Amino acid sequence: MLKQYLAQKLQQKLSPQQIQLMKLLQVPTMELEQRIKQEIEENPALEEGEDQGDEDPIITEEQSIEENDEGTETSNEEFDLSDYFDDDDTPDYKLSARNQGADDDDYEMPIAVGGTFQDSLRSQLGLRQVDERTRLLGEQLIGNLDEDGYLRRGLDQIVNDLAFTANVMTDEEELGRALKEVQSLDPPGVAARDLRECLLLQLERLPNSVEAITAKEIIGKYFDAFSKKHYDRIMERLEIGEDALRDAIDVIVRLNPKPGNTARDASRPAQTIIPDFAITAVNGQLELSLNGRNAPELRISRQYRDMIKEYQRNKKDKEAREALVFIKQKLDSAKWFIDAIKQRQNTLLVTMEAIMEHQKEFFLTGDETKMKPMILKDIAEKVGMDISTVSRVANSKYVQTDHGTYLLKFFFSESLTTESGEEVSTREVKKILGDAIAAEDKRKPLTDDELTQVLRDKGYNIARRTVAKYREQLNLPVARLRKEL
């Protein structure tokens, strides 16, 4: 049975302006520049003003009105507003003329497109003197290589694929001969089925020196012992000394375990980091500045404001009313965007100032052991904002200091209590742990138990499992794998 009743409830919803601000907060400086350009292209009521030096790059609507009232000229040459209100429905193609002959050169900007790793291998295979069937099988094998250059699939599976998808009947023996052709291509080690085969393929192309021959014996017969760094067992089986083993290891460590990444890394564009903040120390005092290079001057279009006055005089006209609604929407959107950019800059500055004051000792000295424990909640309470807002500010933002450029998330860490009751940052413990491992005797690396004792001697009473966790976070292997000759 249906019933009707009245009920009151509270519901919190984010306004479009708040959503826009949250999105702008989390983008770094590089993406902000593209976002502003996109907004200017989509909203003709938003203009990029002239550069006025060190003044505030964001100009409000009221400031823009005052400037224009005083006689400041506004550039209206960027676009013709008649394009937006043209009632002529004639298609553009009827108004255009082609004054270019068929024999005239059409100059276009060339676009550089790099070839893939598989394309390079197919090109090399095409230059080899092999029959068409071997080339067909080789191209199938090349298509099954992963991004590291390995053939992870079994030959029996590829045989089935050729039979069901390409109607090509073959066997593992014939496919193995085609695999040998692919493995002879560059870079060395490509199309290997595991790391051991990859290293052997590279060693086979080296000149036959004593070190290379010893390296082949180690990888070919004692690969498991080598991967576990059981050097004593290898020297005993090969009847060689420590110097000979060290020379062979030097040959092995120069090999490429991921040949497929060679071409990919070479074609990868260099990533430039543009810091969002800059902190400098002057006479023991820290100075914070916000990078405004990619936040150009924005203002409301004077021409659009004048059009509102014009269309308000003809409110009875239906087309004028529709045009007036359109203009108001664009003006409101432009004003919201300018306010959001200005609020974004203020939020970034306030949050970064709180981080700078909390980690003042680190910014002055650059010593990680001076870093204090800090979580998002600490900064949120200082600036009076929500934790999610601070998280968006710290997302993908960089700060340039006198000691290097750091990601903002670098300064956030958990706390740890020492034996004296003092709370220190876990990053300080990791720094001491990393220094202890760097200074250890590589012939007898420190175990996790010994590292735990080293930290306890310095006053950090932590468990062995915690030391192992910090060591893994520092990407440091266990003691057995850190052993060197």
358 contacts 394 by C-beta, under 8 angstroms? no
DSSP string, 429-469: HHHHHHHHHHTS-TTSPPPHHHHHHHHHHTT----HHHHHH
Domain boundary residue, one of 210, 227, 259: 259
**210 lies in some domain:** yes
Domain edge (last residue) among 171, 193, 215: 193
Q: Are residues 153 and 252 in the same domain?
A: no
DSSP code per residue over 35-72: HHHHHHHH-TTEEE----TTS-SB--HHHHHHHHHTT-
43 within domain boundaries: no
Nearest 10 degrees: Cα torsion 320, 324, 325, 326: 100
C-alpha–C-alpha distance, residues 481 and 226, integer Å: 10
> Do strands 298-300 and 415-417 pair parallel, antiparallel, or not at all (unpaired)?
unpaired
316/442 same-domain check: no
DSSP 168-209: ----HHHHHHHHHHHHTSSSTTTTBSSHHHHHHHHHTTS---
**What span, in angstroms and rounded, lies between the C-alpha atoms of 170 and 157?**
12
| Residue after which a domain boundary falls, among 411, 445, 468 | 411
> Which range marks the domain in which residue 422 is found?
415-482
- pLDDT score, position 394: 84
Q: Are 371 and 413 in contact (CB under 8 A)?
A: yes
Closest-CA residue to 361 (of 424, 277, 436, 274): 424
**Would you write out the chain's pLDDT as a tens digit for each of its 485 residues?**
678 888 887 776 666 667 767 777 777 777 777 788 888 888 877 777 653 443 333 333 343 334 334 433 333 333 344 444 444 445 554 555 555 555 444 445 454 455 678 888 888 888 888 888 888 888 888 888 888 888 888 888 888 888 888 888 888 888 888 888 888 888 888 888 888 999 999 998 888 888 888 888 888 888 888 888 888 888 888 888 888 888 888 888 888 888 887 655 555 555 677 888 888 888 888 888 888 765 667 777 777 777 766 666 666 666 767 777 777 788 888 888 888 888 888 888 899 999 999 888 888 888 887 888 888 888 888 888 888 888 888 888 888 888 888 888 888 887 777 666 666 777 778 888 888 888 888 888 888 888 888 888 887 788 888 888 888 888 888 887 787 76
Please name the amino acid found at residue 112: A
Beta bridge partner(s), residue 281: 286
Within this chain, do residues 176 and 208 fall inside the same structural domain, yes or no? no
245 shares its domain with 304: no
Asked whether residue 341 is assigned to any structural domain, the reply reads yes
**212 in the same domain as 183:** no
Looking at residue 82, its pLDDT comes to 45
Q: 397 and 451 share a domain?
A: no
- Do 183 and 223 sit in the same domain of this protein? no
Domains of the chain: total: 4
Domain of residue 185, CATH code: 1.10.10.1330
Per-residue pLDDT, 296? 63
Residue 452 sits in a domain whose CATH number is 1.10.10.60
* 24 domain-assigned: no
Q: Residue 271 falls within a domain, yes or no?
A: no
User: Same domain for 406 and 467?
Assistant: no
Same domain, 173 and 216: no
- Residue 326 lies inside a defined structural domain of this protein: yes
Q: What is the rounded distance in angstroms from the CA atom of residue 256 to the CA atom of residue 149?
A: 11
The tokens of 282 are what?
A: 């002057």
Determine, yes or no, domain membership for 95.
no
Is 230 a domain residue? Answer: yes
Q: Are residues 157 and 253 in the same domain?
A: no
Q: Are residues 139 and 166 in the same domain?
A: yes
The answer on 292 and 402 residing in a single domain is yes
Q: How much is the pLDDT for 293?
A: 64
